[in-house]
């Protein structure tokens, strides 16, 4: 396993729509292992999309504190309900956070590492992380949801980076 460097804006890989995974082979398993190690290298990290480590494939790992990691291959949002304002940061936009709107609840589906289809209904931080990571895989970064980059502020203790 290895801790991978995290790509930051304006790296073009963050703006590409990541490709679907066709086969969950050893290279995907190694990628997921490396992404998990990279995610847990810093306590403030909640999630990682593969393009953030330079791999343009639809793979994400979400690590909510004190919960088991969620690995989603070819994830997609199937339902969004409600709206709320959240403070959000991103490992690919270091040192800043901003307030954006996210859904209150999100239903997402995808496959786990064994290829089994999983469906997750989420609220709170997990719902936010699912929207954030699936945005990444579509080439979208949370700052795209701000009216202006002037709405960013410096990160403070307790802020999260997804
Ligand atoms: Ni991010």
52 assigned to some structural domain: yes
pLDDT tens digit sequence for 128-141: 999 999 999 999 99
29 assigned to some structural domain: yes
Count: domains in the chain: 1
Is residue 144 very low, low, confident or very high in pLDDT (cuts 50, 70, 90)? very high
Choose the weakest-confidence range: 6-15, 26-35, 145-154: 145-154
* Overall pTM > 0.85: yes
6 assigned to some structural domain: no
Q: What's the domain range around 61? A: 12-154
Q: How many angstroms separate the alpha carbon of residue 92 from the centre of ligand 1?
A: 6
Q: How many angstroms separate the alpha carbon of residue 22 from the centre of ligand 1?
A: 24
Q: What is the dihedral of CA 142, 41, 118, 128, to 10 degrees?
A: -30
The question of whether 117 is a catalytic residue gets the answer no
pLDDT tens digit sequence for 74-98: 999 999 999 999 999 999 999 999 9
Q: How many angstroms separate the alpha carbon of residue 89 from the centre of ligand 1?
A: 7
Sign of the four-CA dihedral 113, 136, 45, 125: negative
161 assigned to some structural domain: no
118-122 long-range contacts (CB < 8 A, ≥24 apart) are 118/72, 119/78, 120/70, 120/72
Half-sphere exposure of 49 (CA within 13 A, CB side): 37
Q: Give the environment of ion ligand 1: residues with CB less than 5 A.
A: 90, 162
Please, are residues 94 and 146 in contact by the beta-carbon 8 Å criterion? no
121 assigned to some structural domain: yes
Choose the weakest-confidence range: 7-11, 135-139, 146-150, 152-156: 146-150
Q: How many angstroms separate the alpha carbon of residue 141 from the centre of ligand 1?
A: 7
pLDDT tens digit sequence for 18-67: 999 999 999 999 999 999 999 999 888 999 999 999 999 999 999 998 89
CATH of the domain at 122: 3.90.45.10
Task: Indicate whether 149 pLDDT > 90.
Answer: no
Average pLDDT over residues 121-131: 97
162 assigned to some structural domain: no
- Cα 155 from Cα 123, distance rounded (Å): 23
Catalytic residue of the set 68, 133, 147, 161:
133
Please, are residues 97 and 89 in contact by the beta-carbon 8 Å criterion? yes
Q: How many angstroms separate the alpha carbon of residue 47 from the centre of ligand 1?
A: 7
Q: How many angstroms separate the alpha carbon of residue 98 from the centre of ligand 1?
A: 12
In whole angstroms, what separates CA 111 from the centre of its chain? 15
CB atoms within 10 A of CB 7: 17
Residue 65 confidence (pLDDT): 87
């Amino acid at each position: 396993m290895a801790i991978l460097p995290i790509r930051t804006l304006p790296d073009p890989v963050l703006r590409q729509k990541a490709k679907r995974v066709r086969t969950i082979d050893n290279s995907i398993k190694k990628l997921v292992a490396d992404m998990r190690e990279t995610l847990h290298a810093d306590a403030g990290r909640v999630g990682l999309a593969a393009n953030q480590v330079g791999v343009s494939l639809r793979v994400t790992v979400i690590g909510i504190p004190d919960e088991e990691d969620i690995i989603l291959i070819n994830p997609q949002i199937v339902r969004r309900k409600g709206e709320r304002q959240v403070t959000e940061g991103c490992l690919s936009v270091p040192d800043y956070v901003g307030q954006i709107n996210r859904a209150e609840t999100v239903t997402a589906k995808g496959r786990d590492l064994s290829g089994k289809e999983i469906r997750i209904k989420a609220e709170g931080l997990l719902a936010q992380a699912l929207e954030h990571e699936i945005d990444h895989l579509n080439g979208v970064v949370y700052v795209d949801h701000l009216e202006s980059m002037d709405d960013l502020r410096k990160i403070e203790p307790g802020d999260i980076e997804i």
